[in-house]
Amino acid sequence: MTWDLVCARRLERHRLATPASADRLADVVGAMCGAHAQVMSAAEVSVGIRVAGVTRTQVRQALWVDRTLVKTRGPRGTVHLLPAADLPMWTGALSALPAPAYESALLKPDQVDEVVAAVGGALADAELTRQELTAAVVAGTGPWAGDKVVEMFGGEKWPRWTAAMAAASQRGAMCFGPERGRQTTYTSPARWLPGFRPMDTDAALSALVQRYLHGYGPAQPAHFAKWLAISPKWAERLFASLDLERVDGGWVNAGDADLPDAPAGGVRLLPYFDAYGVGCHPRELVFPGRAGTRALARGQAGNFPVLLVGGTVAGVWHQRRAGRRIHVTVEAFGTLSAARRRALQEQVERVGEILEGTPSLTLGEVTAGPHA
């Protein structure tokens, strides 16, 4: 498997080679194993770049009106958009993973169980803010759940129970609800998917590995472990238990070693924490040369939006919005041909369409630092 054909395979499966039709929106989000949504505008661009004609309005419609998407904690405990139909798989798989260190440091296993039960009961038929949910959890567990000991950005401290928010999401007790003014709300996933229940653990883990390898293979267990923020040894045992096929560069699903006929060209602008950059390995090939120092933050992918050329990172970019105007600055790591400049301009126009603004392009240094 040559690197250029592996890139072509991944681009095709991420719908970055040829965007999908609008009626496939949820399917595309499923194929990319979720769209990172800590920055909601970035999630909208991640989806829109892959789905023809879709704007942020359609993404929000799928999420809050049609409810074919759900906003919840996915890989690494981070906020993602996932297909509602995939929730049984995700919750069945993620709830089986070892508890993260921060959770274990602040809560005993039985306290986590108490919090999850209290959260599930409070949100069964309600949309609550964090403050409202805190009151309900403290009432259902005890004052210890309200101790402000969870360190957040900016020096703020959240109540102890919030260390189990990822666990509550991964066990299917909570997801995000529609915003109430400027306040975030939480609700029950069963309101998105009637009759919802997590899938059997073994079946869910097998399905998640298959989904990951379909979009990101060939991959090593260590790559899968980094993507999920779990122990490489745990991932190795999981891979060994499944029917997979060994190829150059790692593993693929059995019978799924096909490659495209030709390398991929094309130029794409991927936003913060786009799934392609975060999930694809080896890092030194996805982020070659200068990209390895300029487009990564201490080796972590996603902190910078990236310019993708032929499946590898070839620059960084940044957008600044002022009303309807969207000023896009692209810092390429080499000279762009006239054809690639035209393709880049088309990508900038597409970003403007997705975000429903009027874009402009400047080629030059990006001075913005990495996103936390």
Predicted pLDDT at 1: 85
pLDDT value at 99 more than 90: no
pLDDT of residue 372: 66
99-195 CATH pick, 3.30.70, 1.25.40, 1.10.10, 1.20.120? 1.10.10
* Confidence (pLDDT) at 134: 97
CA-based R_g, the chain, Å = 21
Q: Could you tell me the pLDDT band of residue 355, with boundaries at 50, 70 and 90?
A: very high
pTM (2 d.p.): 0.95
Domain spans of the chain, in order of start: 99-195, 267-363
* Segment 223-232 mean pLDDT: 96
- Has residue 51 got a pLDDT over 80? yes
User: Would the pLDDT of 291 be above 80?
Assistant: yes
**Closest alpha carbon to 361 in 337, 334, 330:** 330
Closest C-alpha among 282, 227, 228, 275 to residue 250: 282
CATH of 267-363, one of 3.30.200, 1.20.58, 3.40.630, 2.60.120: 3.40.630
Question: pLDDT-based confidence at 211, cuts 50/70/90?
Answer: very high
What is the average per-residue pLDDT within 339-362?
97
Q: How long a stretch of residues is the chain?
A: 372
Share of the chain above pLDDT 70, in %: 100
pLDDT above 90 (res 83): yes
In terms of Cβ atoms closer than 10 Å to its own Cβ (0-12, 13-18, 19+), residue 282 is middle
Distance, in Å, from the CA atom of 265 to the CA atom of 288, rounded to the nearest integer, reads: 16
List all residues 6 or more positions away from 310 whose beta carbon is below 8 Å from its beta carbon.
Answer: 4, 7, 263, 264, 265, 266
User: Would residue 191 be called left, alpha or beta, if left means φ above 0 and alpha means ψ between -120 and 50 degrees?
Assistant: alpha
pLDDT at 155 over 80: no
Q: How far is CA 1 from CA 95, 220, 245, 288, in A?
A: 34, 14, 13, 18
Is the pLDDT at 198 greater than 80, yes or no?
Answer: yes
Sheet order of strands, 175-180 included:
128-129, 183-187, 175-180
- 92-106, 113-127, 133-147, 309-323: which range is least confident on average? 92-106
pLDDT of residue 101: 86
Which residue from 32, 9, 16 is spatially nearest to 247, judged by alpha carbons? 9
Q: What is the pLDDT of residue 265?
A: 84
Q: What is the mean pLDDT of residues 284-305?
A: 95
| Per-residue confidence (pLDDT) for residue 154, from 0 to 100 | 74
Residue 103's pLDDT is 86
pLDDT, position 318? 97
Q: How many C-alpha atoms does 165 have within 13 Å on its Cβ side? A: 20
Q: Which two tokens stand for residue 183?
A: 């306040």
Give the integer Cα–Cα distance in Å for 292 and 253. 29
- Reported as a single tens digit per residue, the pLDDT across 260-273 is 999 988 999 999 99
d(CA 75, CA 225): 10
244-265 pLDDT, tens digit each: 999 999 999 999 999 999 998 8
Phi/psi at 4 (5° precision): -65, -35
Q: Which residues of 154-174 are buried (b: 16+ CB within 10 A; e: fewer)?
A: eeeebbbbbbbbbbbbbbbbb
State CA 205 to chain mean position distance.
18
Matching CATH topology for 99-195 and 267-363? no
Would you state the pLDDT for residue 153? 76
Mean pLDDT, to the nearest integer, of 209-231?
Answer: 97
Show the 3-state SS of the chain: CCHHHHHHHHHHHCCCCCCECHHHHHHHHHHCCCEECCCHHHHHHHHHHHECCCCHHHHHHHHHHCCCEEEEECHHHCEEEEEHHHHHHHHHHHCCCCCCHHHHHHCCHHHHHHHHHHHHHHHCCCCEEHHHHHHHHHHHCCHHHHCEEEECHHHCEEEHHHHHHHHHHHCCCCEEEEEECCEEEEECHHHCCCCCCCCCHHHHHHHHHHHHHHHHCCECHHHHHHHHCCCHHHHHHHHHCCCEEEECCEEEECCCCCCCCCCCCCEEEECCCCHHHHHCCCHHHHCCCCHHHHCCECCECCCCCEEEECCEEEEEEEEEEECCEEEEEEEECCCCCHHHHHHHHHHHHHHHHHCCCEEEEEECCCCCCCCC
| pLDDT confidence of residue 102 | 84
Mean pLDDT of the region 47-70: 97
Tell me the pLDDT tens digit for each residue of 315-344: 999 999 999 999 999 999 999 999 999 999
Mean pLDDT over 16-43 rounds to 97
Quote the CA–CA distance of 79 and 95 in Å, as a whole number: 15
Question: Which among 341, 370, 355 is positioned nearest to 55, based on CA atoms?
Answer: 355
Look over the chain and give the mean of its residue pLDDT values, rounded to a whole number. Answer: 96
